[in-house]
Amino acid sequence: MTHAYTPGLRLADKLQIRKDRNLPLPGDVIVNKGDMVKSDDIVARTNLPGKVHSVNVINRLAILPNDLRKNMLKKEGDSVVKDEPIAETSPFIKMFKSICLSPITGVIESISDITGQVLLREPPKPVQISAYIDGRVVETIENEGVVIEANATFIQGIFGIGGETTGELQVIVNSPDDIVKPEDIKEEHRGKIIAGGSIIYFDAIIKALDTGVKGIVVGGIRDKDINELLGYDLGVAITGSEDINITIIITEGFGQIRMAQKTFDMLKHREGSVASINGATQIRAGVVRPEIIVPYNEEDTAGELAEEISTESNESAGISIGDQVRIIRNPNFGVLGKVKNLPSELQTIETEAKARVLEVEFPDGRTAIVPRANIEAIEG
Amino acid sequence: MIENLNVIVATDCGSTTTKAILIEKKGAEYRQTFRGEAPTTVEAPFEDVTRGVLNAFAELEELSGRKILDGEKVITPAQGDTGVDIYISTSSAGGGLQMMVAGAVKTMSAQSAQKAALGAGAIVMDVIASNDKRLPHEKIERIRDLRPDMILLSGGTDGGTVSHVVELAEFIGAANPRPRLGMTFQLPVIYAGNKEAQGRVSDVLKTKTALRITDNLRPLLESENLGPARQEIQNLFLEHVMAHAPGYKNLMAWTGIPIMPTPGAVGEIIQTAARKDNINVVGVDIGGATTDVFSVFDGVFNRTVSANFGMSYSISNVIAETGIENIMKWLPFEIEEADIRNRIKNKMIRPTTIPQLLEDLILEHAIAREALRLSFVQHKALAVGLKGVQKQKDISESFDRAAEKETLIEMNRLDLIVGSGGVLSHAPRRSQAMMMMIDAFQPQGVTMIAVDSIFMMPHLGVLSTINEKAATEVFEKDCLIYLGPCISLTNSGKYGSQCLDCVITYPDGKKQEESLLFGEIKVFALREGEKAEVEVTPARQFDLGEGKGQKITEEVTGGVVGLVIDARGRPLDLDGSKGKESMDKVLSKWNRAFDAYPE
């Protein structure tokens, strides 16, 4: 057996990216195939149905369900404004008249003569979808959305919080080992996406928020600091919708972990360009990892061939002797090395579990036996 | 019942792995003979569940020498070393069956609906009830946002409330919910409420949803009738959910009987086992994302799923729910809280890694104890008798009445606990699994503890629906590994006080006598299948289930770990300040008693 199947994160200096930009409900696509778009351009829009409110009219008017319709002033589909009468009784003596007012501005959705309930719906809420990345519209799907294509630097993170945002990329430390400190974050970083080294602590995150930084890309973070930032313990790993005014992507893991040199070099190389990042992470079947996309100008890459995005899952790439790997569990968590040996027989590890292992050689010549489940491939 | 089955192949298509087993009739008895597995292929790039099934079959063929496939077709019937008599399967791939239930009263029809859905193998995403204190628009938003696979609507006894049920139907109609899979199809809704509201509910929902009407699941306050609703759920699971999942149309054509949701099948085998020996059973399956608990008490079956308690994807949620201090109390060594938090999150983001350091293994076992404990607490809260029975009260009274706390799970009448899932089945030492289960479930009196050897309960569950004999034989001989009986106190006392004396008489007449102080736990040699008579006499303030100071005498059968006598009291208290020793020393002593970890 010379192969091991291990997860790995995608990392490419130039990749042909295709992004689906779909509406949550059918609507209008407002760009055409072939158009060049900027990340914040609107490409499609629709209206989400408004909130539904219910009013129990028979209780309000003290009438029977069967009498509801004859007391209604409005019928299904009629528009109403807030505090407009929607039903009233017509008693013999007028001072005993009861009136039921609309709690909202909207339309009458339904009138039930079983429950006496009238459902009203607020006006639809417009929703717009932006292009998210600078690129070209290569496909439009009528009423649904578009596909944007761009040649871009593409880096997958391991975990993130916060949704889509864009900004100029700026590396603010000198080495992937460096800690991002509050004093590294300056006024000039307002509206930018800053990238750093091995870890950022809570005080520096707050400084970034106060400064108006749009995103942070860093090797590691402490769970304790995320907890403090969100105000709650992050339970299930489904993120991206946090309301925190900043997007944070970690590339390596929790704790202080040196950012992979290749990732750092790539970010440094694209410094000054506009990056589109998304912290959304889902660790379930159908995994979603956070992403950093830095498109190239089409003119800059004219005539060059970008690597096509692989349709094969890179999470099933094989590992062979000589491959670069990273250890992703204690001991030696985060350390890089080369595969020296891939023994096929099961070996007993410290916990006494029998596992398939491999031998890793570190740059200083030391070697270690590591369960194959505890390494990931480093591309390149 | 299908007779004349000599060779059976069964698969369970899980979220991550498809597991295939071969069951063969050897002489007069059925045995599980070979096992193969392969990654599940429901997600991109394959998006066809049958790829994973074929790969798992290929491994089975390689190991067994039996030719199962002719190209991509299962060969039936078996002849010599070729083919199988039937292929059966369960599935939880693609997130399993996700449902929302609605009922008029939270602790009555809504709870019965929840039980019906859980029993059929679903994850219940939310329970909507007329009295759940949410405003109508909040309920409507929730129904629209959740996008379940189907909705079960109940409410009202036959002849009871109509308006509450129709109101719920109106909310569902206003939400106009879309199913999770198959965007162009209408959402299946099952109505199993007051039969007198059927027409009205149909008027509201028939054009907006794929409505099915079945018998009322709570026709009287005093009785539930969950069978028809469960059956309808499983039918719709096949017709709508499975039919829209990638590759399942082909898979459904291959199987000899309908595919069952995995937890529904596990429930079947637990019920079959309980029925056969007339015992009370609790089963648990702790996975990466969810923990399922099943129980059969006096023939009454209950299942719950704790959707966000698990050992990889959901590991972080266990900490969020129980609090980090409840994890740390199980650790017999010093470690910083920030360090634990980072380790747990790193497991969450890289869920396929395995502990390499002993310290990491002990940490995972600590988290498993809490995940199991919390899931069992949730189970006990749902496994209750029917609300609204015995007392004369009208529906409005029930609205304000808090849930009664009486659970059906009486720990000192529990005969067997079966554990399943990686952290239990694959613990490096079996004693670790036994400790985790005793600490989490805290059995009382005499209880046998067992684990599922290689996770074949789903396969046996679906098999039990066509051949109960084959399923129970394999369950007892190959599936269960008996760890041993546990004899425990039912009450608490003063640390270090004289607690109990025991005499174990082995079949050869040899006797072993021992005294235990309160707070101690001991393991005695008693091999798998070996029987011994145990006489335990508690001190006058202690109770083993027969009353304070009352002696118990039982014949017990051993297991791979041995016979455990647990004098730590119930509920188990890990507050070290009550004893003379620090808690980490006490934990180390308990671990040594089980020889649980290498020194």
pLDDT at B399: 47
pLDDT at A233: 87
Q: Which chain B residues have a beta carbon less than 8 Å from that of A283?
A: 313, 348-349, 351
Judged by CB atoms closer than 8 Å, whether chains meet at B45 and A312 is answered as yes
Q: Which chain B residues have a beta carbon less than 8 Å from that of A53?
A: 136-137
Q: Which chain B residues have a beta carbon less than 8 Å from that of A237?
A: 313, 316, 348-349
Size of interface A-B (CB pairs under 8 A): 165
pTM for this entry = 0.86
Q: How far is A291 from chain B (nearest CA, A)?
A: 15
A362 vs A110, which has greater pLDDT?
A362
pLDDT in tens, A159-172: 999 999 999 999 99
CATH topology of domain A158-289: Glucose Oxidase; domain 1 (3.50.30)
pLDDT at B387: 67
What is the residue-averaged pLDDT of chain A? Answer: 88
> Taking 60 as the threshold, does the pLDDT of residue B545 lie above it?
yes
- Phi and psi dihedrals of B54, rounded to 5? -65, -40
A369 vs A299, which has greater pLDDT?
A369
* Beta-strand relationship, B7-13 and A52-56: unpaired
B209 vs A298, which has greater pLDDT?
B209
Range with the lowest mean pLDDT among A227-231, B137-141, B339-343, B410-414?
A: B137-141
pLDDT in tens, B180-224: 766 557 889 999 999 999 999 999 999 989 999 999 999 988 888
pLDDT at A97: 87
Q: How far is A60 from chain B (nearest CA, A)?
A: 16
Mutate to test the interface with A, among B346, B360, B431 (most CBs of A within 10 A): B346
pLDDT at B304: 86
Alpha helices by DSSP H, listed for B192-261, are: 198-205, 227-236, 243-244, 248-254
**Mean pLDDT to the nearest integer, B236-249:** 79
Contact predicate B360/B343, CB 8 Å: yes
B406 vs B558, which has greater pLDDT?
B558
> Is the preceding peptide bond at B351 cis, omega within 30 degrees of 0?
no
Range with the lowest mean pLDDT among A44-53, B168-177, B236-245, B452-461?
A: B236-245
pLDDT at A286: 61
> Taking 60 as the threshold, does the pLDDT of residue A1 lie above it?
no
CATH class of the domain defined by B96-249: alpha beta
> Taking 70 as the threshold, does the pLDDT of residue A6 lie above it?
no
Judged by CB atoms closer than 8 Å, whether chains meet at B341 and A349 is answered as no
B507 vs A311, which has greater pLDDT?
B507
Across the interface, which of B176, B357, B426 has its CB nearest the CB of A350? B357
A235 vs A14, which has greater pLDDT?
A14
Q: Which chain A residues have a beta carbon less than 8 Å from that of B353?
A: 328-329, 371, 373-374
Q: How far is A109 from chain B (nearest CA, A)?
A: 8
- As a whole number of angstroms, the distance between CA A94 and CA A117 comes to 25
- Buried b or exposed e, range A24-59, using 16+ CB within 10 angstroms: eeebebebeeebebebebebbebeebbbbbbbebbe
3-state secondary structure B144-174: HHHCCCEEEECCCCCCCCCHHHHHHHHHHHH
Residue of chain B with shortest Cα separation from A312? B45
3-state secondary structure B443-493: CCEEEEEEEECCCCHHHHHHHHCCCHHHHHHHHHHHHEEEEEEEEECCCCC
> Taking 80 as the threshold, does the pLDDT of residue B44 lie above it?
no
pLDDT at A4: 36
pLDDT band with cut points at 50, 70 and 90 for residue B577:
low
Judged by CB atoms closer than 8 Å, whether chains meet at A112 and B170 is answered as yes
Q: Which chain A residues have a beta carbon less than 8 Å from that of B374?
A: none
pLDDT in tens, B257-309: 999 888 889 999 999 999 999 999 999 999 888 899 999 999 999 888 887 78
Q: Which chain A residues have a beta carbon less than 8 Å from that of B140?
A: 51-52
pLDDT in tens, B321-353: 899 999 999 999 999 999 999 999 999 988 888
- As a whole number of angstroms, the distance between CA A228 and CA A168 comes to 27
Judged by CB atoms closer than 8 Å, whether chains meet at A114 and B317 is answered as no
**Mean pLDDT to the nearest integer, B148-166:** 90
pLDDT at B146: 80
Range with the lowest mean pLDDT among A169-178, A182-191, B91-100, B417-426?
A: B91-100
Mutate to test the interface with A, among B349, B360, B424, B595 (most CBs of A within 10 A): B349
pLDDT band with cut points at 50, 70 and 90 for residue B95:
low
> Taking 80 as the threshold, does the pLDDT of residue A175 lie above it?
yes
Q: Which chain A residues have a beta carbon less than 8 Å from that of B44?
A: 286, 313
In sequence order, the 6+-apart residues with CB closer than 8 A to the CB of A226 are A161, A234, A248
Q: Which chain B residues have a beta carbon less than 8 Å from that of A350?
A: 356-358
**Mean pLDDT to the nearest integer, A187-201:** 96
Residue spans of the domains in chain A: they are 52-121, 158-289, 317-377
- As a whole number of angstroms, the distance between CA B61 and CA A82 comes to 71
pLDDT at B388: 60
Across the interface, which of A232, A255, A349 has its CB nearest the CB of B356? A349
- Which residue in B490, B374, B373 sits closest to B441, CA to CA? B373
C-beta atoms surrounding B468 within 10 Å: 16
Residue of chain A with shortest Cα separation from B174? A52
Mutate to test the interface with A, among B134, B314, B347, B353 (most CBs of A within 10 A): B353
pLDDT at A5: 39
Q: How far is B565 from chain A (nearest CA, A)?
A: 26
CATH class of the domain defined by A317-377: mainly beta
pLDDT at B42: 76
pLDDT in tens, A321-352: 999 888 999 999 888 899 999 998 889 999 99
Range with the lowest mean pLDDT among A15-19, A226-230, B303-307?
A: B303-307
pLDDT at A241: 84
Judged by CB atoms closer than 8 Å, whether chains meet at A373 and B353 is answered as yes
pLDDT at B134: 85
pLDDT band with cut points at 50, 70 and 90 for residue B514:
very high
pLDDT at A321: 92
Judged by CB atoms closer than 8 Å, whether chains meet at B166 and A115 is answered as yes
Q: How far is A284 from chain B (nearest CA, A)?
A: 6
Q: How far is B78 from chain A (nearest CA, A)?
A: 33
Judged by CB atoms closer than 8 Å, whether chains meet at A115 and B170 is answered as yes
What is the residue-averaged pLDDT of chain B? Answer: 89
Across the interface, which of B45, B141, B349 has its CB nearest the CB of A237? B349
How far, rounded to the nearest angstrom, does the alpha carbon of residue B366 sit from its chain's CA centroid? 19
CATH architecture of the region A52-121: Beta Barrel (2.40)
pLDDT band with cut points at 50, 70 and 90 for residue A306:
low
Beta bridge partners of A295: A152
* Beta-strand relationship, B150-153 and B188-191: parallel
Percent of chain B with pLDDT over 70: 95
* Beta-strand relationship, A318-319 and A324-327: unpaired
Q: Which chain B residues have a beta carbon less than 8 Å from that of A317?
A: none
- As a whole number of angstroms, the distance between CA A249 and CA A232 comes to 18
- As a whole number of angstroms, the distance between CA B534 and CA B563 comes to 10
Residue spans of the domains in chain B: they are 7-93, 96-249, 283-384+405-594
pLDDT at B325: 93
- Phi and psi dihedrals of A283, rounded to 5? -110, 85
> Taking 50 as the threshold, does the pLDDT of residue A314 lie above it?
no
pLDDT at A304: 57
CATH class of the domain defined by B7-93: alpha beta
Largest CA distance in chain B: 76
The H or E element spanning position A209 is helix A202-211
Q: How far is A300 from chain B (nearest CA, A)?
A: 32
pLDDT at A54: 85
Judged by CB atoms closer than 8 Å, whether chains meet at A330 and B356 is answered as yes
Q: What Å distances lie between residue B359 and A54, A233, B370, B445, CA to CA?
A: 56, 23, 17, 32
Judged by CB atoms closer than 8 Å, whether chains meet at B316 and A330 is answered as no
